[in-house]
Amino acid sequence: MASTQMASVGNAPTKNQTLLQWVNRCARMTQPDRIVWCDGSEEEKKRLTEQAVKEGILIPLNQEKRPGCYLHRSNPNDVARVEHLTFICTPNKTDAGPTNNWMDPEEAYTKLGQLFDGCMKGRTMYVVPYVMGPLGSPYAKIGVELTDSIYVALNMRIMTRMGKPALDMLGESEDFNRGLHSTGDVNPDRRYICHFPHDNTIWSFGSGYGGNVLLGKKCLALRIGSYLGREEGWMAEHMLILGVTNPEGVTTYVAAAFPSACGKTNFAMMIPPGEYKGWKVETVGDDIAWMRPGPDGRLYAINPEAGYFGVVPGTNNKTNPNAMATIAKDTLFTNVGLTPDGDVWWEGKDGEVPSELIDWQGKPWKPGNGEKAAHPNSRFTAPMTNNPAISSKANDPQGVPISAIIFGGRRSNTVPLVLQAFNWTHGVFLGATMGSETTAAATGKVGVVRRDPMAMLPFCGYHMGDYLQHWLDMQKSITHLPKIFQVNWFRQDKNGKFVWPGFGDNMRVLEWIVNRVQGRVPTQETLLGWVPRNGDINTKGLDISPDTMAEATSIKEDEWKAELKSQEVFFEQLGTKAPEALMLQRKLLISRLGS
Ligand code: OXD
Ligand code: MN
């Protein structure tokens, strides 16, 4: 660790002049009392954790029950991503596109510069160098985040390869993302998350919530990443990556896009049901995939992250036993309930509901008092190495070859359990027309269907029309194209009950997908794509009636006519940038539906 008592970069552990000058410039603007360069060591983790406990930022949990675990309570006004305060600052407004908020870069630097001016007086600035992607991977990217939040420094340590290895990998290079963050006074009226893709820069002010402030994640790995991906011929996607191995020992790698809080972590860590002897699912990543064509013409994916920032409520030994094991130690919990014996509790946890506890806002709580003990978007930050199902390829610098891409939304109707696209272009159309009911991961109304192409609506760093065209163009550089599928685990019956059990039983759908990829099973054509023939989804050991199965897989033409209208509104928004190939797909679907 190298730190100074004055806000100078005097004894910084790097000779990289570009980095030093930039840190100096930011320190002159924000005026911290101290600058601490993070090295990522165990000693540093201990020291920062002790400091955070002393400042009341972390509450130690019962160290016998949850070794190395701490609870953080955020400001109640700061519990989710703030899409309305997230900006893409490109020189031309059109480059950000109609689905992003835009601010002129000069205006943004001036406006936020005023907020950053002197904002770290009396505080420490942590310099957090980090790598997104396996160390030494040619596909990894380096970032440096300057932050006045010790919570951010500790979270970045879990979520990225942070500290000395990042500085070593950077060397004298100027090629790093410049991230500046201050919690400011956590005032929603002075909260901005601004991205400057042309400068590889992110400025985040006024929030302490993960998605807004762990700048490697949504800001660099997705928004800036998607921009760089288009420039450099690769793809940054909001996708989990898993490897599924069949009893013959053949592993198939799958990437799957679902909107926030729709079960990516559960799917990535799934344990197959008892009937699936000899099958196993292993996690490469649970949220983000960086994918590019490899020398053998296949599409390779790395997980740029080193940890999981997962939604806590609903996690239990039935829905996700691997996540429960992952968060048993060395985990930072944010906004969950605290039990009298120093453990954590959330809605949907196993076991008895405690008769009393302290809720996520620090207030006494009793069952039935009308409040949630844990915030619906409460989170765990845990190292991926804790995951019993981690893939041996999670750190592979070359990544894993992807054979199937899955798009899934949260839809109570319309979208059937599973279907396969006719081809790549049709698959891109399925991804582009994804819709999903909104969740608590972002502020705003929950449960409203919104179009969410490739689950990237809040994360695409440039014009959505150009992004969809980039997907279409990638076809030219991938010789062995992954097959594309659409799934929906969330269909409901007339009484609002989910018709598909989900969780581990999603293995049954995954098996069909693997069999399709390997050419092992014929299929049936429908208006929407290829679907399993009757009986092709294995329901052995599952208590599901043929009627319910029919409901889960049904395609209702009237629902699809309404869906087409809603898709039209989305495509109209893209104007002349709506890709021609997708418009043709749309026409074909309209004619198949006869409307
Ligand atoms: C996340 C999100 O935190 O998508 O991963 O909101
Ligand atoms: Mn996500």
Share of residues in the chain with pLDDT > 70 (%) = 98
Contacts of 137 (CB under 8 A, 6+ apart): 302, 397, 398, 399
Q: pLDDT tens digits for 63-120?
A: 999 999 999 999 999 999 999 999 999 999 999 999 999 999 999 999 999 999 999 9
Separation CA 363–CA 337 (nearest Å): 9
Ligand nearest 377 Cα, by number?
Answer: 1
pLDDT band at 443 (very low <50, low <70, confident <90, very high): confident
Query: Has residue 486 got a pLDDT over 70?
Result: yes
pLDDT of 381 reads: 98
pLDDT of 509 reads: 98
Which residues are catalytically annotated? 262
User: CB–CB of 34/4 below 8 Å?
Assistant: yes
Question: How far apart are the CA of 474 and the centre of ligand 2, in A?
Answer: 23
Question: With DSSP H G I counted as helix, E B as strand and the rest as coil, what are the percentages for the chain, rounded to 5?
Answer: 30, 25, 45
pLDDT band at 8 (very low <50, low <70, confident <90, very high): low
Instruction: Say yes or no: CB of residue 441 within 6 Å of ligand 1.
Output: yes
Question: How far apart are the CA of 9 and the centre of ligand 1, in A?
Answer: 34
Q: At 332, is the secondary structure helix, strand, or coil?
A: strand
pLDDT of 4 reads: 43
pLDDT of 445 reads: 79
Separation CA 179–CA 185 (nearest Å): 19
Average pLDDT estimate for 313-340:
98
Query: Has residue 534 got a pLDDT over 50?
Result: yes
Q: pLDDT tens digits for 392-412?
A: 999 999 999 999 999 999 999
- b (16+ CB within 10 A) / e for 463-486: bbbbbbbbbbebeeebeebbbbbb
Q: Which atom of ligand 1 is nearest to the CA of 287?
A: 5
Query: Has residue 2 got a pLDDT over 50?
Result: no
Task: Locate 275 and state its tokens.
Answer: 């009937």
pLDDT band at 595 (very low <50, low <70, confident <90, very high): low
For tokens 């839809």, the residue is: 411
Mutation probe of ligand 1 site: the residue of 193, 217, 218 with most atoms within 8 A of C-beta: 218
DSSP of 228-240: HHHHHT-EEESEE
Task: Locate 179 and state its tokens.
Answer: 């991230």
Mutation probe of ligand 1 site: the residue of 309, 381, 384 with most atoms within 8 A of C-beta: 309
Question: How far apart are the CA of 454 and the centre of ligand 2, in A?
Answer: 12
Share of residues in the chain with pLDDT > 90 (%) = 94
pLDDT of 5 reads: 42
User: CB–CB of 464/453 below 8 Å?
Assistant: yes
Residues having C-beta closer than 5 Å to ion ligand 2:
260, 287
Packing angle, helices 464-474 and 424-432, rounded to 10? 160
Separation CA 174–CA 126 (nearest Å): 20
Question: How far apart are the CA of 260 and the centre of ligand 2, in A?
Answer: 5
Ligand nearest 240 Cα, by number?
Answer: 2
Q: pLDDT tens digits for 190-203?
A: 999 999 999 999 99
Count other Cβ atoms within 10 Å, centred on residue 306. 25
Contacts of 106 (CB under 8 A, 6+ apart): none
Residues in the chain: 595
For tokens 């502020």, the residue is: 443
Task: Locate 321 and state its tokens.
Answer: 């036993």
Task: Locate 537 and state its tokens.
Answer: 């989804």
Contacts of 592 (CB under 8 A, 6+ apart): 527
Contacts of 339 (CB under 8 A, 6+ apart): 345, 354, 357
pLDDT of 10 reads: 62
Q: pLDDT tens digits for 248-261?
A: 999 999 999 999 88
Query: Has residue 357 got a pLDDT over 90?
Result: yes
pLDDT of 374 reads: 98
Instruction: Say yes or no: CB of residue 222 within 6 Å of ligand 1.
Output: no
Instruction: Say yes or no: CB of residue 287 within 6 Å of ligand 1.
Output: yes
Domains of the chain, first to last: 4-58+82-233 (3.40.449.10), 236-306+391-577 (3.90.228.20), 308-386 (2.170.8.10)
Highest mean pLDDT among 9-23, 131-145, 547-561: 131-145
AA letter at 84: H
Torsion of CA 6, 74, 283, 435, to 10 degrees: -120
pLDDT of 127 reads: 98
pLDDT of 72 reads: 98
Q: Which atom of ligand 1 is nearest to the CA of 211?
A: 3
Instruction: Say yes or no: CB of residue 211 within 6 Å of ligand 1.
Output: yes
Ligand 1 atom 3, closest CA: 211
Question: How far apart are the CA of 488 and the centre of ligand 1, in A?
Answer: 19
> What is the average pLDDT value for the chain, to the nearest integer?
96
pLDDT of 3 reads: 45
Q: Which atom of ligand 1 is nearest to the CA of 311?
A: 3
Q: What is the distance, to the nearest Å, from the Cα of residue 266 to the centroid of all Cα atoms in its chain? A: 13
Ligand 1 atom 4, closest CA: 260
Q: Write down the pTM of the prediction.
A: 0.96
Q: Which atom of ligand 1 is nearest to the CA of 441?
A: 6
Count other Cβ atoms within 10 Å, centred on residue 43. 9
Instruction: Say yes or no: CB of residue 499 within 6 Å of ligand 1.
Output: no
Ligand 1 atom 1, closest CA: 260
User: CB–CB of 389/240 below 8 Å?
Assistant: no
Query: Has residue 206 got a pLDDT over 80?
Result: yes
Q: pLDDT tens digits for 303-313?
A: 999 999 999 99
Sheet strands (E) in 294-378: 299-302, 307-311, 332-334, 337-338, 344-345, 357-358, 364-365
pLDDT of 439 reads: 83
pLDDT band at 9 (very low <50, low <70, confident <90, very high): confident
